[in-house]
Structure 1
Amino acid sequence: MRKTSLALLLAATAALPATAQTLTMGAGAPSTSLDPHFFNAAPNSSVAAHIFSRLVERDAQVRPQPGLAESWRAISDTVWEFKLRPGVKWHDGRDFTADDVVFTFERAPNVPNSPGGFGGFLRMVDRVEVVDPLTLRIHTKAPHPLLPVDLSYVFVISRHAGQGASTEDYNNGRATIGTGPYRLRAHTPGERVEFERNDTYYGPREPWQRAIWRVIANDTARTAALLSGDVDLIDQVPSTDIERLRANNRVALHQIQGLRMIYLQADFSRDGNVPGVTDNAGQPIATNPFRDLRVRRALSIGINRQALTDRVMEGTAAPSGQWLPPGVYSYNPAVPAPAYDPDGAKRLLAEAGFPQGFRMVLTTPNDRYPNDARTAQAVAQMWTRIGIRTEVNALPWSSFSARSARQEFGFRLAGWGSSTGEASYAAINIIGTYNREQRRGASNAGRYSNPAMDALVDRATATLDDGDRERVLHQVIQVAMDDQAVIPLFHLINTWATRRGLNYEARMDESTRAMAAREAP
């Protein structure tokens, strides 16, 4: 009886006309804020993309496309001219102008209490010249060929709504006025965001009158919501459900190689008494063991990455030794995933003065990345086998992200999507030396620092020739991975599941958005 009722329900849901439907998306991770400059995290950007626009947008393969800027060109080595789209209106009916972009650039790097903001994308901007209301000239501190790519990550906000507005003013809707395809309708923090179509949007008209972003962090519940017809699509499809869903003719899967690396990051912010790290008797260790390269290398080669991708991720990820997947510009083929070598790991620990190992806590989110807590548990077991008795502390993403930004963890599991499709994005933001003034290291929660690598990054981002720049970026990757700045584990394969009759354009940047969903013809 249950199966018959479910089948009838699914058939009825699939038969609804597109013009009458509300699209409901089941998201595996919550957006932590509606402030589009508060936190550079994929769920936040996915939600913001419905409401706000950027000068340069990105397609599903993260290639730059015209957005609020119709065109752009370099008019000298350090000056870019952007022609803005005429006739664009904010949701409240006021005109979008170049002055709004100036205001955006002033605010984006300076949001109070941001756990990881957007300053890295604007670090090379020296000043912005307003030629006329629809023409901007952006002057850079040095030649910067990646400026259009950088600007495809910065949402443009209005001066009239944002002047003096706090993050809370965006969260409660007072300042949440954009130029995007949807207007904000309602927001329940951590649970759901409701959108209503913006019929004055400058781009293609959306088929959905309403769209709902509904957070369903539990994997089993998310799949069940799709199968019951409560939602039309889900992201972060549990690896344990993929084959079952693939065989279900009421469901369609949509996949693409992702750019997100799941990695481990040590604390470099203190010399000793690292949180969660003790000797085997439970006493604090006077020096930070993670500052010793031999310890970091031991931890890396003590991980069986193939086992993680086969047994934990069940084929939905590929082992990695760097922050880019193969086939992407600036991927360095000379830096493979490290071979599993537990005996070598034990030797390195002994050389570093830890022949009996030590004890530590590995902290992970439990509702942000596919199988995040399971991955951490598997790594902990592997580390325990090489003599480092590891306990896992699994936290909700909202708590994890805030505490990680305050350097409260000795070792953490995290994820980073290099959605610019090249190496400098991660090198600047997650392992670049933290410096607010230089807008470097905005998401470097471990506070790793390598001035030699920073200098190479600066050289690469000022190199105009693509081939020459790629060669320097190869050096960046080699230097960072030789120093074990982070410990890459694997790259995800992005998967969405939808009800029958709904097409979804899978995106390399893993963004879940109503604009990618269309009824099948």
Structure 2
Amino acid sequence: MIRSLRAALLASAIFAAPVAAPALAQDNIRIGVEAGPTSLDPHFASLITNIAFARHVFQPLMEQDAKQDLRPAIATSLRAIEPLVWEVKLDPAARFHDGQPVTAEDVAFTLSRAGDVPNSPSSFRYATRPITRVEAVDATTLRLHTAQPTPLLPNFLALVMIVSKKHGEGATTADYNAGRAMIGTGPFRHVSWQPGSPVVMERNPAFHGTAPAFARAEFRPIANAGARVAALQAGDVDLIEIVPPDHFARFRGEPARFSVAESPSNRLIFLTLDSDRVESPFVRAKDGGRIDNPLRDARVRRALSLAINRDAIVSRIMQGQALAAGDLGPPGYFGTSPSMTPPPFDLDQARRLLAEAGLPNGFSIQLNGPNDRYTNDEQVVQAIAQMWTRLGITTTVETKTRSMWLSEAAQLRYSANLAGFSPNPELLGMLETQIHTWDTTLGLGSANRGRFSNREIDAIIQRARTTIDDDQRRALTQQATRMALVDHTALVPLYFQVNTWAMRRGFTYAARTDEMTLAFSAGRAAQ
């Protein structure tokens, strides 16, 4: 079976501070989130935020629980019956909001649409490409045929929401955004949304699963972390996500008014470095003149990594709510290696590597990143720039809002960039998207913003992604990761986030490793 988090990670804290409170009179919940969806179209963008919102109105075949283990959703089971054939048993109780049952036609329509939405900034093609045919066996059984063995298929499809063919055929992204095509099987029904405005939804009384605790949910986008905290303190919202580390400690210390929840995250925060172009847009000689791109040299990339004091970032900027990283996944995650520890902070070795690369006096570079996407992201970028400057690299900083930063990063406008990614649910997901050579034919390297390329590593990744045997796939994954990070510094791992939530007294939240804030994961505290 495909595994997600291993024992070490599963044993980590996923908890809410216990509080006793009287029953709440209200039957709605107001949630302050960092950002709303970029679109209601469940297939428009494979982004955690969009997927989280889509999961309220729609469902996948199998879904991931709070620890990212698979559990039934529209399907009661999804299993490989042959190396190239997966059998899906649909739940006959699953109904779309219009009362129609989910059929093999709906699944086939979804799988043909999900990877082919016009203007998608982050396509689901990686999840649907392996499937060559959907075969209807009977009313509740279908088979997915793949071109090659695809061990991660169930987890890929856990991110693909099933839509109604009746309402989705011919529907555009605009139709979903306007609410006209928002007919799913999920625990909530869509009520209203406009970009930048709250997302409002109401409980689906005919939902075939566990009913949400609240009849109405309102997600209010509050980009500024301080403003989210203030909204919770003022009682304007009941629950907030991504709590600043200092405020998280304060909330935890006031159990009479608030409770908190936290979980280890599988999201790696890292740097992408342009290791492809001969001339990189923001790399120059110290006098401002043109210079051949030094980031193409693995020694330079390694030097930049060694010049970063990860422990200082974790302790001072993240105030302990992070774990320094030397691997693509947190300890215990499938495919990680205990020996892949964070690179040491070693300025002397970094300077020697620069000298070996013919750059004893360094060069100049601009470091880019978001200022509203990850916890303290702008402060992290500023700190790294100072560390690189101490190395002898003249470093300037430019950060932008999430939407602009994401668009420009996708267009490869940066030389060095702060990024984040969550492998799903194995390190292999990270290798396929971030490390493998950018290849539109294979659908690999889709998020490889530094355009790192190594054919030997590619070959190992391709072997791993068709290896069903867990032990063999783990060994291949570890081999590819070590080559990518230790031998070539394909990217620069920094740290893993800790996911945090805070809520008013009387509310609870089941913390998640995948960062999603879901209204149906919220509840009322026991009296």
- The yes-or-no answer on 1:343 pairing with 2:338 is no
- The yes-or-no answer on 1:59 pairing with 2:65 is yes
Q: CA deviation at 1:488?
A: 0.7
Equivalent of 2:272 in 259, 265, 270: 265
Deviations 1:247-292 (A, max 9, x none): 11211111111101111001245221x122221122232x222111
> Which runs of structure 2 are paired with 1:355-434 in the superposition (5 Å)?
355-420=360-425, 422-434=426-438
Aligned residues of 2:30 and 2:238 also touching (Cα < 8 A): yes
CA distance in 2, matches of 1:478, 1:69: 37
Q: CA deviation at 1:70?
A: 0.9
Letter in 2 for 1:140: T
Equivalent of 1:225 in 226, 231, 256: 231
TM-score, normalised to structure 2's length? Answer: 0.92
Aligned residues of 1:78 and 1:142 also touching (Cα < 8 A): yes
CA distance in 1, matches of 2:139, 2:484: 43
- The yes-or-no answer on 1:182 pairing with 2:188 is yes
SS in 1 for 2:227: helix
SS in 2 for 1:338: coil
* Structure 2 portions without partners, runs of 5+: 1-19
- The yes-or-no answer on 1:314 pairing with 2:312 is no
Counterpart in the other structure of 1:3: none
> Which runs of structure 2 are paired with 1:207-226 in the superposition (5 Å)?
207-226=213-232
Aligned-residue CA RMSD (Å): 1.7
CA distance in 2, matches of 1:514, 1:170: 20
Q: CA deviation at 1:19?
A: 6.8
Q: CA deviation at 1:75?
A: 1.7
> Which runs of structure 2 are paired with 1:416-495 in the superposition (5 Å)?
416-420=421-425, 422-481=426-485, 482-495=487-500
Counterpart in the other structure of 1:5: none
CA distance in 1, matches of 2:278, 2:114: 32
SS in 1 for 2:143: strand
SS in 2 for 1:330: coil
TM-score, normalised to structure 1's length? Answer: 0.93
Aligned residues of 1:20 and 1:209 also touching (Cα < 8 A): no
SS in 1 for 2:284: coil
Cα–Cα, structure 1 residues 424 and 68, in superposed 2: closer, same or farther, change >3 Å?
same
Q: Which moved more, 1:178-187 or 1:459-468?
A: 459-468
Aligned residues of 2:38 and 2:50 also touching (Cα < 8 A): yes
Counterpart in the other structure of 2:14: none
Letter in 1 for 2:431: A
Aligned residues of 2:85 and 2:145 also touching (Cα < 8 A): yes
Counterpart in the other structure of 1:45: 51
Counterpart in the other structure of 1:103: 109
Q: CA deviation at 1:383?
A: 0.6
Cα–Cα, structure 1 residues 133 and 409, in superposed 2: closer, same or farther, change >3 Å?
farther
CA distance in 2, matches of 1:451, 1:191: 46
Cα–Cα, structure 1 residues 288 and 123, in superposed 2: closer, same or farther, change >3 Å?
farther
Q: CA deviation at 1:15?
A: 7.6
- The yes-or-no answer on 1:79 pairing with 2:82 is no
CA distance in 2, matches of 1:433, 1:375: 28
Q: Which moved more, 1:170-179 or 1:340-349?
A: 170-179
Q: CA deviation at 1:349?
A: 1.6
Counterpart in the other structure of 1:255: 262
CA distance in 2, matches of 1:361, 1:372: 16
Deviations 1:390-439 (A, max 9, x none): 1111111011111111111111101111241x111111122222222322
Q: CA deviation at 1:354?
A: 1.9
SS in 1 for 2:56: helix
Equivalent of 1:284 in 290, 293, 302: 290
Equivalent of 1:333 in 328, 333, 338: 338
Equivalent of 2:132 in 118, 123, 126: 126
Q: CA deviation at 1:197?
A: 1.2
SS in 2 for 1:399: helix
Aligned residues of 1:419 and 1:508 also touching (Cα < 8 A): no
Counterpart in the other structure of 1:504: 509
Equivalent of 1:147 in 129, 134, 153: 153
Cα–Cα, structure 1 residues 449 and 113, in superposed 2: closer, same or farther, change >3 Å?
farther
Q: Which moved more, 1:276-285 or 1:510-519?
A: 276-285
SS in 2 for 1:260: strand
CA distance in 2, matches of 1:433, 1:19: 55
Letter in 2 for 1:34: L
Letter in 1 for 2:455: P
Q: CA deviation at 1:86?
A: 1.0
Letter in 1 for 2:263: I
CA distance in 1, matches of 2:29, 2:347: 49
Size of the alignment, in residue pairs? 505
Aligned residues of 2:437 and 2:444 also touching (Cα < 8 A): yes
